[in-house]
A and B are shown apart, each in its own frame.
Chain A
Amino acid sequence: LRISILMALFFVSMNSAYALNLMGEPLQPLQSLQTNPAKAALGKRLFFDTRLSHENAISCAHCHNLKEMGGADGLKYSFGVEGREGMINSPTVFNAALNFVQFWDGRAASLEEQMDGPVTGHVEMASSWPEVVKVLRTDQSYRTGFSRLYKSGITERNIKDAIAEFERSLITTGSRFDRYLMGDEHAITAVEKHGYQLFKSYGCVACHQGRNVGGNLFQKLGVMRDYFADYPVENDAARGRFNATGKKADLHYFKVPSLRLAVLTAPYFHNGSKKNLVDTIRTMAKYQLGRKIPDGDLRDIIHFLYTLPGDYNGQTLEPKDQAQLKLLASPEPAALP
């Protein structure tokens, strides 16, 4: 009896998702953060300003394309000034404000701290803050813009604050899935609902949870199998969190990325080694879950993932073509639940 009770408890805890109780859901809807619109607007201008880089070559938007690439750049590694190639895949800037730390290795505790990386990085914008401040001070409109919002005018701290404020405004609320979470039963299809169930039942949700569907813990890449035995290390970045802490226990640990815009931000993994979600999920299942996911379930999970992108500037970021699904053979009608 004790066992059966325990089992019942276990299964209830596993399968009670159908009765949608928001409190108990591992995924939560996104909510806009409080921002100062004037600072955000100034930050947006800076975000698109090439003067933040050496010789005015590139802006933040160079690697974080807000319009088409879901806030990333669609490349394995990004290119900085003078075509210098980076060492790690660019993550999306959308919802980055919700990540508990920044960078794959979490070496920056905040967005402001994170900004030092791209602006001063040799393979990225290759500039320096004094240089940026000097350049921006020659611009009359920036001088007035900053002096209106900040007592100290154009300074490194204020530039970072403005850009961070802009990034905090990049929360992709209003996704179909969020509408579903908040009670709209018809916001997503039955297939997508099934995909969500699978996402939970396969254990993806063990790491990719919360409102950002990830981004709130470090996890080892290769829990069930040695990932790096199969995918040789390409550069130092592969050491993950170890680079930030120097602890051996942190070797190959990475920040779990958000899946909110996953359908838009190919290629995947820190090294951009997987070009599509199908291969990515298969790889994840193999190395992280220690299991195989059948194509039908895979399809439904991807369907589910397509419900996650929200709106930006009043327009949905969700792509209509669902190109990621075309890599899989059409499902048998019977496979549908």
Chain B
Amino acid sequence: MTSVSMRIHILLLLLLGGLISMQLNDTHLIQPAAYKQIHSSLNSIVRLDAVSEESMMQLQNGQIGNYDKLTADAVQLMQRYTELDHALPDEPSLQAPLQALKASVRLQLDTIDAFRRSFGILLNSKRYASTLIAQSIDEHPSLTVPLLRLRGDLFEFLSFPNDALKQRIVMQQKALEPFALADLNKHLKIMLQYIFEIQHQIYTVLHCGTPENTYSLSDAYDVVYTKQIQKMESRRFWLFGLIALFAIYLVMVLYLLMRSDRKLRAANDELEASRDSLEQELKARRQTETRYRTLVDSSAAAIMTYADNRFMSANRATLHMFGVEEEKEMLEMGATDISPPQQADGRDSATADLDYIKIAMRDGRCAFEWLNKRKNGEVFPAYVQLTAIEVGNERMMQAVITDLSDLKRLEKEKELLANALENTADAVMITDAEARILYVNTSFELLTGYSSSEVTGQFTSILRSEKEDVSVYERIFTTLNHAQTWKGELLMRLKSGDEIATERTISPILNESGGGINHVAVMRDVTEEKEQAKKWEHTQRLESLGVLAGGIAHDFNNILTAIMGNAALAERSLAAASPAKDKLTKIETSAQRAADLCQQMLAYSGKGKFVVQAMDLSHLVDEMVHLIDVSIEKNVVIKYHLADNLPLVHVDVAQLQQIILNLITNASEAIGVRSGVISFSTGIMHADEAYLRGSFCDHSVPEGRFVYIEVSDTGCGMDSETIEKIFDPFFTTKFTGRGLGMSAVLGIIRGHHGSLKVYSEVGKGTTFKVLLPVTEGLVVEELHIESDADGWLAAGTILVVDDEDTIREVAAMMLEEMGFSTLTAINGIEAVELYRQHQNEIAAVLLDMTMPKMDGKACFRELRRINKKVKVILSSGYSEEDATGRFSGKGLSGFVQKPYTPEHLKEVMMNVCATKGDS
């Protein structure tokens, strides 16, 4: 069905619909309810008309109570009429009777209204009339007759009003005029007027024609109603016809519609299918476009096209890279605007650019490094790829520019870090999570002997030592897996197969999520350190032994002083032939040996240096040659290489002699029964720190010039373990040795702030090298104590101060034998007191160092306070250096080492007294 024919169909349908609705409109007019209501209203009007007429009649007859009723009826009549007027159909044939009824109802209502007014007025006068006439008769008795006649006429008139009576009353009224009965006149006038008026009103209401008009309206309405019914019947017939036609037509149109709809739907489906495919295609295209757009825009590299040195397009990264805000601005620029005038190689940018474009045109593409310039003038390195492309028919260049400034900076940073890593002293190894080596630094190569290329890609297990407990590795991995750093010592196998101890720090390199990817291990060879520590520990042990030995020696010295003193004094007091004399001599000898042992113990403890002298060591050795010769076996040849003009060293001669003898003896014994050579040399050398580090002795020995004594033998030699132990007290390889010789040697050397080096090889021999620091600028000749004891006689009083009773007694006896008188004090306080009392008598004070209450040092201070020139001889079980060190520069007159013999004491006393107290 074409749209034109469809329109015609619809128009026809609409036309039919219109006709039907018109018919319907006409048909629905008839309403039985309205018919009933109209008739009810009509009946009411007739009834109310009758009722109101009746009420008026009754009112006229004096039934005043009907006023209300009349009023109500009139109101109702009006209402009924209004209802009727509204309910009646708008029919021309009804207009005339309706108008007639309206006029009659209006007339009736107006009349009733007027009647009520008039009747009230009349009623009043009517009522008043007889009273008024009676009053008039009272006022004018002469008029009684005419007034009574008037009253009679009046009442007759009021009952049956007629013109004849009215004329008569008017006549009588005129006759009464001269008597000025004004009120009566007025009321008479009202009555005459209103009685007719009321009559007229009642007549009007009775004959106003309301019922007649109502009936005629009723008839007219019935006629109209019948006509309407007939008309409706015929209309209904037509309506049904029209509806039937409409329905048939509608069915036909619907059928046609359905058919065309089916066709339409098929076409529509086809269309939709093609539209869908088109839409999908479009969508795909859009997606592709968006993808490419996004690809280009999201690229970190600047991508742009240009032709004729003008940019045609640029992506977002371009704007960002060149600091340009809008693409428009970018498109106004050319390649020279974003480059500095000259490139890194000195070429002119414009020329170079053209060159590259030419290459790109020829080869299709070219890539090169280029210096670019941002809008703010900053020049940055970039990598440029030029591609010749064709858009439409237009040839242009596509440039892809990558900003290399970050890359370069990163490279620099990386280089810095790599340098730091390469140059660090510690070995650094980076491994992946599977313990495969990724990187090692130079220190690692040096330490392990592996080159970087050898180990890279290897598992770290190549560095593992068999000796290491496997559990250590487990602990390491557990720690690392918890993202913690492991620290500890680990053995490492070198390329050479040697194993060294390393201190290792292994840290996980965490990625962003906190998981460990790689591990970095920093390691340091601690073998040497460990050895040093071991040595240090040993030294400490020896030192503590030294302290112990020193303490014992000190106490022993006190005891021996008493023994030796008493023995010597006893011997002197005996006759020469006394058999006890020999025994006493033996006591003395034994005591002396005990004293020697104490001396060795003190020497070992480094506190046995008594007499310090500046000496030429070669000279010292020279003097000892015959002593040395007797000390060695006959199968041993000794060779001397003594240097001349050695600088002086500050030494205790006796102790040095002890060292030499010990070393010679040991060398001789090492050679044993075979023939061998001992070479003995002296010299001077400069020892640096590294050299000294390999020696025994204090680490505190500073580097500098040393005089040395070297004793080498060709004996059995020692292994390293033995060397470790030779300095331990009581260690000996000899059957008879006491094991204190080398300890004492080391103690003495330490006491002289020197150093000892030992080289030994089993079966080849041993070399000991004693180094003693050169006393710079010391030119004092060695002291020679002149022994002229025989001619000396002591005089004066000596104050002996010691807390030990035996010492006090022995010292006092020795001094008294020398010729001194003595005073004794058991501590410093007493000594000070005694000195104060006998200041003038006391020649000198023999003062013990360690005492209770007031020690030697404090006592000495007090004594000097009393007399600045007081002569004080210090006596101590410790060495002189140790004891006097506490008095340095305080003016001690002398020192006597315990135990001392009478000769020794005498010697010191002579020296002190000779100096005359001006030390």
Contact = CB atoms under 8 A, between A and B. Distances in A.
A216 B127 contact: no
Contact of B117 (A205, A209, A220): A220
B255 interface: no
Interface string B426-449: 000000000000000000000000
B917 interface: no
B68 A219 contact: no
Interface in B159-205: 159, 183, 186-187, 190
B156 A219 contact: no
A281 to B, nearest CB: 14
B117 A219 contact: yes
Contacts of B113: 217-218
Given A209-B68, A253-B117, A290-B186, A6 B159 contact: yes
A6 B152 CA distance: 9
Q: Counting chain A CB atoms within 10 Å of each CB, which of B65, B116, B187 scores highest?
A: B65
Contact of B64 (A26, A100, A211, A290): A26
B849 to A, nearest CB: 118
B155 A7 contact: yes
B65 A209 contact: yes
A276 interface: no
B709 to A, nearest CB: 127
Contact of A209 (B62, B64, B158): B64
A207 interface: yes
Contacts of B116: 216-218
A244 interface: no
A315 B67 CA distance: 30
A289 B123 contact: no
Interface in A1-27: 2-3, 6-7, 9-10, 13-14, 23-26
Interface size class of A (residues with CB under 8 A): 35 or more
Contacts of B67: 26, 209-210, 216-217
B722 interface: no
A302 to B, nearest CB: 20
Interface string A202-222: 110111011110001111100
A24 B152 CA distance: 26
A25 B65 contact: yes
A24 B155 CA distance: 22
Given A224-B186, A290-B186, A291-B183, A201 B127 contact: yes
A291 B135 CA distance: 12
Contacts of A53: none
Interface in B98-155: 113, 116-117, 119-121, 123-125, 127-128, 130, 132, 152, 155
Contacts of A290: 124-125, 128, 183, 186-187
Contacts of A14: 62, 127
A288 B190 CA distance: 12
B917 to A, nearest CB: 131
Contacts of A209: 64-65, 67-68
B64 to A, nearest CB: 4
A75 B72 CA distance: 31
A205 B64 contact: yes
A327 interface: no
A220 B123 CA distance: 15
A284 to B, nearest CB: 11
A282 to B, nearest CB: 16
A33 interface: no
A28 B68 contact: yes
Q: Counting chain A CB atoms within 10 Å of each CB, which of B62, B68, B159, B183 scores highest?
A: B68
A28 B71 CA distance: 14
Nearest to A26: B64
B252 interface: no
A224 B152 CA distance: 24
B65 A206 contact: no
A223 interface: yes
Given A13-B62, A219-B117, A210 B128 contact: no
Given A2-B156, A7-B155, A216-B71, A23 B120 contact: no
Interface in A155-212: 201-203, 205-207, 209-212
Nearest to B153: A3
Contacts of A218: 113, 116-117
Contacts of A224: 186, 190
B311 to A, nearest CB: 71
A24 B63 contact: yes
B123 to A, nearest CB: 4
A80 to B, nearest CB: 30
Contacts of A13: 61-62
Interface string A260-301: 000000000000000000000000000011110000000000
Interface in B541-578: none
Contact of A28 (B65, B152, B187): B65
Nearest to B187: A290
Given A26-B67, A206-B120, A210-B65, 7 more contacts: A201-B127, A207-B120, A209-B64, A209-B67, A216-B116, A223-B121, A291-B132
28 contacts: A3-B152, A3-B156, A6-B156, A9-B159, A10-B130, A14-B127, A25-B65, A26-B65, A28-B68, A100-B71, A100-B72, A203-B123, A203-B127, A203-B128, A205-B64, A206-B119, A206-B120, A210-B65, A210-B71, A216-B72, A217-B67, A217-B71, A218-B116, A219-B120, A224-B190, A288-B124, A291-B128, A291-B132
Interface of A: 2-3, 6-7, 9-10, 13-14, 23-26, 28, 100, 201-203, 205-207, 209-212, 216-220, 223-224, 253, 288-291
What are the 8 closest A-B residue pairs judged by CB atoms, nearest first?
A210-B68, A203-B124, A26-B64, A216-B71, A13-B62, A206-B120, A206-B123, A217-B116
